Amino acid sequence: MKTLKDMQQQVDDYMSGFKVGYFTPMENMVRLTEEVGELAREVNHVYGPKQKKLSEQQKEIGLELADNLFVLICLANSMGIDLTESFDATMEKYEERDFNRFERK
């Protein structure tokens, strides 16, 4: 199973193959916003009331999520952020802050 570190390295290896390299953080944010919009549209088609146009093809939500993850990793890599460290810190925050917030099983 791939770790976040593995994924960050794989994306870095891929992006290193291009002269332009990573886009700027602002450009990656715009790309991420576009990808989130595509994901939202697909979720709305599958789980919400929005009907697809006859000309629209079905997309896999998993692939839309992965597109978002790719751009998010590009953004993190371009800023030198270790997502594993950041994720661990975020989980610690949620586990402490929200420990008694919701009914547990």
Domain ranges of the chain: 4-97
Q: Model's pTM, two decimal places?
A: 0.88
**4-17: buried (b, 16+ CB within 10 Å) or exposed (e) per residue?**
beebbeebeeebee
pLDDT for res 51: 80
Average pLDDT, the chain: 93
Confidence class of residue 1 from pLDDT cuts 50, 70 and 90?
A: very high
Q: Which CATH class is domain 4-97?
A: mainly alpha
Intra-chain end-to-end CA distance of the chain, in Å? 28
Q: Determine the number of helices (DSSP H) and then strands (DSSP E) in the chain.
A: 4, 0
Q: What is the mean pLDDT of residues 83-88?
A: 98
pLDDT for res 98: 83
Torsion of CA 7, 30, 20, 17, to 10 degrees: 20
pLDDT tens per residue across span 36-67: 999 999 999 999 887 877 787 778 999 999 99
